[in-house]
Amino acid sequence: MDEMTRWIDLEGAVNARDLGGLPTRDGGRTRRGRIFRADNLQGLTSGDVTLLVDELGLRHVVDLRSNAEVSLEGPGPLTRVTEVRHHHLTLFAEGGRHTDVEADAIDGERVLPWAERGLDEELRVTGFYFGYLRDRPDAVVAALRAMALDDGASLVHCAAGKDRTGVLSALALEVAGATREAIVEDYVATGERLELILKRLRGSDTYRDDLDSRPADDHMPRAGYIEQFLGVLDDRFGGPLEWLAAHGWTGTDTEAMRSRLRD
């Protein structure tokens, strides 16, 4: 792991990094080596697995992909590692377009949240983000709880490690007390690897058509997307923590996350 940039250099994934090292509202920094985020883990090499499990102490993988993605792509090499526990928690609804029901039949043309287009790009993207919270609040809370487990490092991922992973990472950082500027910084950092991410996903039949239907620049994670997402949570619910509390998140959960990500 690069101690200066938070990036984790892997042969089989290109968007892996540590949620540690980010400024907090009380003047501290989030703790390194506790929670990681990444793109699809299908291509991890044996060396990658050794680095993650033996050197970084990975014990929990939170997989946010849809049932379709797991069926089409496979569960990945870490599922064969007995020390690692997997938590598959899709953020897609159980019925309708872009959902596990449609996807499970492997007859839907799209399985990714970026496939639809709308009139306003910022509203389109944050609309998907609120769709995760609206349709699968149970999965959002369960994923955050899994990320906060204290018996080893955890890693949250989806396909690109951008939207679904970006939302969960932002919520985890918010609970831990990271500054909003730091949360935005972490979200947009995926843009540094976007070309590599798209190249990798285009090598998969699962994602190629969805990606090629839009210009590459449309996939860029922009600060306004996550700022609007968090701002609406502030305005409508009093903040991300208040939304979480309304869906079963407890003070004990908050303490668990803060003990994971705070010194």
**Rounded to an integer, what distance in angstroms lies between the CA atom of residue 230 and that of residue 232?**
5
**Cβ-based neighbours of 137, under 8 Å, separated by 6 or more:** 247, 248
Q: Tell me which residue of 48, 43, 40 sits closest to 10, measured CA to CA.
A: 48
Q: Tell me which H or E stretch contains 172.
A: helix 164-176
Contact in structure between 142 and 148 (CB atoms under 8 Å)? no
Q: Tell me which residue of 18, 41, 51, 54 sits closest to 172, measured CA to CA.
A: 18
Q: For each successive 10 residues of the chain (263 residues), what is the average pLDDT?
A: 75 98 97 97 97 98 94 91 97 52 34 47 82 95 98 97 97 98 98 96 89 82 95 96 98 98 90
Exposure class string for 201-215: b at 16+ Cβ within 10 A, else e: beebebbeebbeeee
Supply 74's token pair. Answer: 């496979």
Per-residue model confidence (pLDDT) at position 119: 43
**Rounded to an integer, what distance in angstroms lies between the CA atom of residue 112 and that of residue 129?**
12
Supply 128's token pair. Answer: 């998907």
Per-residue model confidence (pLDDT) at position 93: 75
**Rounded to an integer, what distance in angstroms lies between the CA atom of residue 88 and that of residue 82?**
16
Q: Tell me which H or E stretch contains 157.
A: strand 153-157
Overall size of the chain counted in residues: 263
Walk me through the domains of the chain, giving residue ranges and CATH numbers.
Answer: 17-93+120-261 (3.90.190.10)
Calculate the alpha carbon distances from 255 to 22, 90, 140, 259, 260 in Å.
Answer: 18, 25, 17, 6, 9
Phi, psi of 77 (to 5 degrees): -65, -25
> How many CB atoms are located within 10 Å of the residue 4 CB?
7
Interval 219-241: pLDDT, tens: 899 999 999 999 999 999 999 99
Helices and strands, number each (H, E), in the chain: 12, 5
**Rounded to an integer, what distance in angstroms lies between the CA atom of residue 39 and that of residue 30?**
21
Per-residue model confidence (pLDDT) at position 4: 56
